[in-house]
Amino acid sequence: SGATPVAMSKSTRRGANEKERTKELDSKVIMEFGGPIGVSAIMICSPLLMYYFFVCLEKYGGALQYPGISVAGESFQQFIVRMFQDVKQLAYPTEYGFKIYTYFMIFQAVIAIIFPGPIIQGLPIPSQNFRKLDYNCNGISCWYFTCAVAFILHRFGYFDLVDVIDNLGPIMTWSIFWGNLITLITYVMAFVCGATHRMSGSFLYDVFMGAWLNPRIGPLDLKMWAEIRIPWVLLFFVSLSAALKQLRETNSITAPMAFMVLAHFLYVNACHKGEECIPTTWDIFYEKWGYMLIFWNLSGVPFLYCHASHYISKTNPMPETYWVILMYVLLLVGYYIWDTANSQKNRFRMKRNNTFLDRKTFPQLPWGTLEDPSYITTEQGGLLLTGGWWGIARKIHYTADLMMAFSWGGITGSPYAVVTGNGSFIPYFYLLFFICVLTHRVSRDMERCAEKYGKDWDRYCKEVPYIFVPGIF
Ligand code: NDP
């Protein structure tokens, strides 16, 4: 109120300039993943790789297959035919597989629409005049409701949960089908509805990255729905199904199998309990809904991340006790850091924006909310947290996520066991894949933040010099 007209017009101008710059950054096309050729390779190879690992686990006890390994004197061509026949036999798109996947998907969409939940505003969308969308974050009630329905269906004989692991191949095939079909429909509909954004002009690249930023069907935000309601819930049910099968067959559940149920429960539960933090993430506010998100959410995550559970279900490995204990500790410590680091940053931002929601969703861990932390105020207007975990390393939550990823593979046997032929590499694939995903994300994010915050970002990097592990890297 005490500002002079000159000062006011200066700050209005600075605000307008800032908005223009944000708009420019948001609409800038950056060719990633090797451009059209790279993304085409990803789109072709992803399902092939999924089928390959699936067959190795389902039929060959996790042994990587190559010409001659299981059939003496086999040529490359014969190997391809063998793999194709295995896929046809084990992952045929059956009607039952269709029903399981499709009904599950529709069920998740219906409850996402009808259940009430806290309404959270997303970030201002630069390409839509900085409008903010409302998100109904009813994830936690939908998640508990899904568990209750699954229990009732299983307990009273309407649907045997063991059928999930027994029909993993067909279900995966239908997920691939839906992932591709929904990608194409969304791409076409973006043009029909005039909702295209940040288009590169290359058909293949735009199909991969998407054409539509925030597709919605009525109140259903498709990106939010696909982000956690399908992948993580399905992943959990794959592991639960494998555990129930083991219980039925052996009357007990081994420590590695229980580990996978716990690991996937913690992950899916965390995604839902903190769902109000998702609307402000990169995937929701920046990425478009294309193959990359659609396929990975509907198909890639559940069927590439479930390898350890699938492997345990097929081979029942039993690593040494000390190693199992170590993996449990790694999982729980990793989870604690991951949960609290994400929550510290998100709650800090929400508090400063007056959008903080004091939720009591289970579990609320100590140090999940920081009282009066240190931070940097940037010229751009954003705040960079330098307290809590965020003063220790810039991407400590990625390190924690990788600790969990290691434990998911590790519970099936140590890397030494894999190298000496007493274990399978496949459960470790998630870790390797995830390292690639996260390092790519880090470099992309650092570039973006350096551009967005300029010298304030340099100041932040100086204050918090380490990225992943304090004192080392
Ligand atoms: P981040 O949570 O790291 O978010 C990055 C953004 O946070 C930056 O662009 C910046 O945005 C803001 N930011 C960065 N540093 C600070 C700081 N010090 N203080 C305040 N804000 C800051 O990235 P993701 O969205 O990639 O990851 C979220 C979680 O999801 C992670 O734990 C990750 O491990 C997990 N994840 C899991 C995947 C899986 O498949 N399992 C895949 C990808 C992620 P701004 O412009 O707002 O400043």
Spatial CA neighbour of 398 closest among 357, 365, 352, 446: 446
CA distance to 5, 215, 365, 376, per residue, from 450 (Å): 32, 29, 32, 14
Q: What ligand 1 atom has the least distance to the C-alpha of 464?
A: 18
374 CB near ligand 1 (under 6 Å): no
384 CB near ligand 1 (under 6 Å): yes
Other beta carbons within 10 Å of 435: 14
pLDDT tens digit at each of 473 positions of the chain: 344 555 556 666 667 777 888 888 899 998 999 999 999 999 999 999 999 999 999 999 999 999 999 999 999 999 999 999 999 999 999 999 999 999 999 999 999 999 999 999 998 999 999 999 999 999 999 999 999 999 999 999 999 999 999 999 999 999 999 999 999 999 999 999 999 999 999 999 999 999 999 999 999 999 999 999 999 999 999 999 999 999 999 999 999 999 999 999 999 999 999 999 899 888 999 999 999 999 999 999 999 999 999 999 999 999 999 999 999 999 999 999 999 999 999 999 989 888 888 888 999 999 999 999 999 999 988 999 999 999 999 999 999 999 999 999 999 999 999 999 999 999 999 999 999 999 999 998 999 899 989 999 999 999 999 999 999 99
* Side-chain-side CA neighbours of residue 19 (13 Å): 14
390 CB near ligand 1 (under 6 Å): yes
456 CB near ligand 1 (under 6 Å): no
Q: Of all protein residues, whose CA lies closest to atom 34 belonging to ligand 1?
A: 398
User: What is the distance in A from the centroid of ligand 1 to the CA of 329?
Assistant: 24
User: What is the distance in A from the centroid of ligand 1 to the CA of 384?
Assistant: 12
Spatial CA neighbour of 187 closest among 54, 292, 305, 263: 292
Over residues 48-84, the pLDDT tens digits come to 999 999 999 999 999 999 999 999 999 999 999 999 9
58 CB near ligand 1 (under 6 Å): no
Q: Of all protein residues, whose CA lies closest to atom 7 belonging to ligand 1?
A: 281
Q: Are 3 and 174 in contact (CB under 8 A)?
A: no
Over residues 8-51, the pLDDT tens digits come to 566 666 677 778 888 888 999 989 999 999 999 999 999 999 99
Q: What ligand 1 atom has the least distance to the C-alpha of 448?
A: 9
User: What is the distance in A from the centroid of ligand 1 to the CA of 158?
Assistant: 41
User: What is the distance in A from the centroid of ligand 1 to the CA of 59?
Assistant: 38
pLDDT at 18: 76
Whether omega for the bond prior to residue 363 falls within 30 degrees of 0, making it cis, is yes
pLDDT at 17: 79
pLDDT at 9: 63
User: Which pTM does this prediction carry?
Assistant: 0.95
167 CB near ligand 1 (under 6 Å): no
Quote the DSSP letter at residue 381.
Answer: S
Q: What is the DSSP string of 433-469?
A: HHHHHHHHHHHHHHHHHHHHHTHHHHHHHHHS--SSS
Over residues 191-247, the pLDDT tens digits come to 999 999 999 999 999 999 999 999 999 999 999 999 999 999 999 999 999 999 999
Please give the domain boundaries of the chain with CATH numbers for all domains. 95-316 (no CATH), 320-472 (1.20.120)
pLDDT at 260: 98
Out of 275, 298, 345, 370, mutate this one to test ligand 1's pocket (max ligand atoms within 8 Å of CB): namely: 345
347 CB near ligand 1 (under 6 Å): no
3-state secondary structure of 118: coil
Token pair 């590499």 is found at 425
Q: What ligand 1 atom has the least distance to the C-alpha of 398?
A: 34
Q: Which two tokens stand for residue 309?
A: 């559970």
d(CA 17, CA 47): 45
